[in-house]
Every structure is written in C-alpha cells, then in structure tokens.
A and B are shown apart, each in its own frame.
Chain A
Amino acid sequence: MNCVECENNLVFYLYGELPAEVEESMEQHLDGCAGCRAQETRLANMHRAIEAERLEPSLELLSACRQDLAVSLRAVTEQSDSGWRRWLRPLDIPGWSWRLAGCTALVAVGFLAARALPGSAAKGIGGEQPVVSAVSHVEKMGDGLVRIVLQDSVARELSGRLDDQAVQSLLLAAARNTVDPAIRVDALDLLRGGISSPEVRDTLLAALRKDPNDGVRMKALESLRPLAGEPQVRAVLLDALREDRNAMVRANAVDVLTMGNAQNSELAGALQELMQREENLDVRRQGQRVLRSMNASLETF
C-alpha cells in the first residue's frame, strides 16, 4: 500500500469499516510511514473532539416526548373510535355479517347492563372496587349468537417493607413478568436492596441475559455490580459483553467486569475477541484501555 491509498482508506480504517486484508495492509504501511501515522493521529484527535459534541437526551426531554406522544395517540385512537363502527373493530373478521355485528352490540350492552344493575350476575365482584376487563376470546356460535370471554382484574394497592417476603415476591414477579419495561426497571431497582437473596440475584441475572428492553438490562447490570466477583455472575456479565446488542450494555459490562480483578485472563480473552468484531467506537476504546491496563495484546493471533 502506498501513501495515497493509505490516505484514502484512513477514514474507514478508524471506523473499522475496511476488509480485514486491507486493514492489515494499512497497519503494515502505518508502522513504516511516519507521515501517514501522523495523519492517523490527527484524524483520531479529530474524532475525539467531535465525540465530545455528542448529545445525550436528558430524561426530562425523553419524558416530555413520551407524554406528547401519549396525548397524540389518545387523540388518534379516540378519533378513529368516534363512530359506531368502533364496535366492529375488535371483531374485524372477514365474512361476519352486519346482523352478527348487531348481536355483538346487544351482547355488549346486555353485559354492561348486567354489571350496572344490583342483584345481577356480576354481583360477585366487589361493587366498590375498580375492575378492568379484557376480552380474551370471541367466538361465533351459530344462530346469530356470539361467545365472549372476559378476563376481569381488580386493582388493589399494597404497601410494605422491602424485607417483607410478600412484597419481595411481588417485586420479583413484576421484574419477571410485567409487560411494561418501566415497571420492570422500577422493580429491579427496588430489589437491589435484597441482592444477598439468591432469588433476587437469579432474577437480576435472568433480566440481564434475556430481557428484550435495553433499559431493563442496563438496570440489571448496574444492580449486579456488588456481585461482580462471583463466578456465576461473571459468566453472565461476560456473555453480555460478548453478545448484548446494545453498546451501552456492552460498555458497562466492561466497566463492571474490571472491578476488583483487572488481571482476569477470561476477561482479557473476551475483550480480545470483542476487538475483532466490535463496531462501536466507545466500546472499542474502553476495551483497548482495559487490555492495555492488563498489559495484554489488543487482539488474538
């Protein structure tokens, strides 16, 4: 490779966008050419200067955006549900007749009336408690009848200390099973206080391994920090470093893994592997820094 080719490839070299054989030629050329090496240093300095201009949205901005969107989506939903056709939307199955739709409406009206009237079939549900109903099944039965299965849930409020077994069980269930990731994050955050419990530790490890939400995995990772020296925890942290799709999680995994035991040969191996394929500049730099601090080479050979 000559200096002109090197100059033309320098940008892509620093971004890790070159094929392996071209990257190797670049490195050989840079090792022997002080002028090109100086250009590389200047370009790397420029990258660092630009990196400092990266903006992270504040939580307030994110929260304001989410509120705006919730309001707009509510308006959109109400607008599209404003007509009588909304009764048909959940039962939008090809072939259903208008007569059947009429029956459906009557069933719904009858159901609502039954709930509202004292002494009706719905009286088993506490009258004062708020009830949330969700349709879990609808079925055409013939003779113009439909069958609808509703799952009723009653909202209840509980309070208790974090060391209360019942409170902890509910938090563990919330961390594992709730659909809303924000509730999972809050539950994991509260569970940090009970990290000595094997159940809490297992829940945190499971969240880091397989929760689909980046924020939940980040929270689990942070919560596991005090246990970073335990072999089982380190194994999951190393998996996160190797496989997590989110760069922030990978970067934080490096950070947590280096706590206390920077001479870990397994960590060095994992970082060297990571250097082969990591695309994110921050994670690459962090990995390189740790490898240098361990006096380890930056790659596997």
Chain B
Amino acid sequence: MDEASLIRAAQRGDEDAFAVLVRAHDQSVLRIALNLLRSPEDARDVYQETFLRVHRSLQQFRFDCNFSTWLHRIATNICLDHLRRRKVRRESPRVASVSSGQEIDPLDTVAEPRADSDPQRRVLSEELRGRIQAVLRELSPRERVVFEMRHFEGMRLRAIGEALGTSEEAAKNCLFRATQKMRSALGEFV
C-alpha cells in the first residue's frame, strides 16, 4: 500500500495503517527532537506529543504538501515550544546531576557510535564539544531549528521553510546568522 493510501485508511480510522505511518517516520521525528533538545527525556515527550497530535488532526491533512513536511512541521513546532520554555526558564546545562562528585550526562544514554568508538578523540575534543553545546544553547530557538535541520537532517532550505511555515529566504537568513555565531564562538578551535 503506498503512503497516500495508508493516510486515507488512517483517516478512516484504520489504526493498523496509522501504525505503519508512524513506523515509517518515527525515527526521523525522534532524531530531530533528540538533536534539537539534546535530552532523551524531552525527545521522548516530543515523539509522544507529535504522534498524538497527528492522530488527532489527521482528518485535517489535505495532501497539499508531503506528509513528512506536515509531520515535521508539527514536530518542529513542538520542539520550538520546548526550546522557548527553556529560554524562559534559562534551563540548566546538559549535565543533569551530580552523584558522588561524578557528573552524569543524560546523553550518555543515547547511541553515539562515532564518539564511543574513538575515546581518545572524545577526550581531545571535549572542550570543543562543550563550546559547540554552549553555542547551540545560545542560538535563538528558530536559528537552532534551522541550523540543526540543515546540518543534521540534511534538509534543503526550501523544505525547512515549508516545515516551519516560513519562506526559504527567512530560513536562509536564520542559517547564516546561526553559522556566523558558531564561527565566532569556535574560531580558535578550527
């Protein structure tokens, strides 16, 4: 069954068709949320909220864009809300808790094969990593979403604009600003 047929079946209330749609797209939603929020717990919340919202609103999907664009729009809007709430709260940095003097990084629960497979590089680049994380946190929510979608998801600026309900030009400006901030913060390291 092709995707359009699956969507129509899910719109008629076919839960199996909905489950197939979820399975086809959920890894990409989870990856976007994880990279944007850098927290497995928050990514899990976003995953749940995204697909429940999709389930509720599927009747409103009118095939005037790709299903994945529509889905990404929902997921990134939820991520943006999370990021904005964090900005308001000025959330603490990623290192979440301290136990017996040992810092525990929640992202250690995330599959990170490249870093794990080369511990020496991991140690050497620790300072650079810290700097990158700091800059990512300092970007505006919208800059961060555009930057991560382009850089980590490999999405074209036009598609990012569609997903965010804005123009390609606006997405381009966000990417430019985000990269300039990265360059000025990481200048001495690269």
Binding site for B on A (CB under 8 A): 11-12, 15, 17, 42-43, 45-47, 49-59, 61-62, 64-66, 68-69, 72-73, 76-77, 89-90, 179-182, 212-215, 247, 279-282
Contact = CB atoms under 8 A, between A and B. Distances in A.
6 contacts: A15-B150, A49-B190, A58-B109, A59-B111, A65-B47, A181-B23
Given A57-B111, A77-B15, A179 B20 contact: yes
B148 to A, nearest CB: 9
Interface of B: 1-3, 13, 15-16, 18-20, 22-24, 26-27, 30-31, 34-35, 38, 40, 43-44, 47-48, 51-52, 55, 107, 109-115, 125, 128-129, 132-133, 136, 150-152, 154-157, 172, 175-176, 179, 182-183, 186-187, 189-190
Which A-B residue pairs are the 9 nearest by beta carbons? A58-B111, A280-B154, A45-B190, A65-B47, A46-B190, A11-B179, A57-B30, A54-B152, A56-B111
A61 B30 contact: yes
B26 A61 contact: no
Contacts of B175: 11-12, 15
A53 B151 CA distance: 11
A280 B115 CA distance: 21
A73 B52 contact: yes
A49 B13 CA distance: 46
Contacts of B26: 62, 65-66
B43 A69 contact: no
Interface majority SS (helix, strand, loop, mixed), chain A: helix
B151 A214 contact: no
Given A65-B43, A212-B3, 4 more contacts: A15-B150, A42-B187, A51-B151, A181-B23
Interface majority SS (helix, strand, loop, mixed), chain B: helix
B34 A55 contact: yes
A29 to B, nearest CB: 18
A73 B47 contact: no
B154 A72 contact: no
Nearest to B189: A49
A279 B48 contact: no
Contacts of A77: 15
Contacts of B114: 52
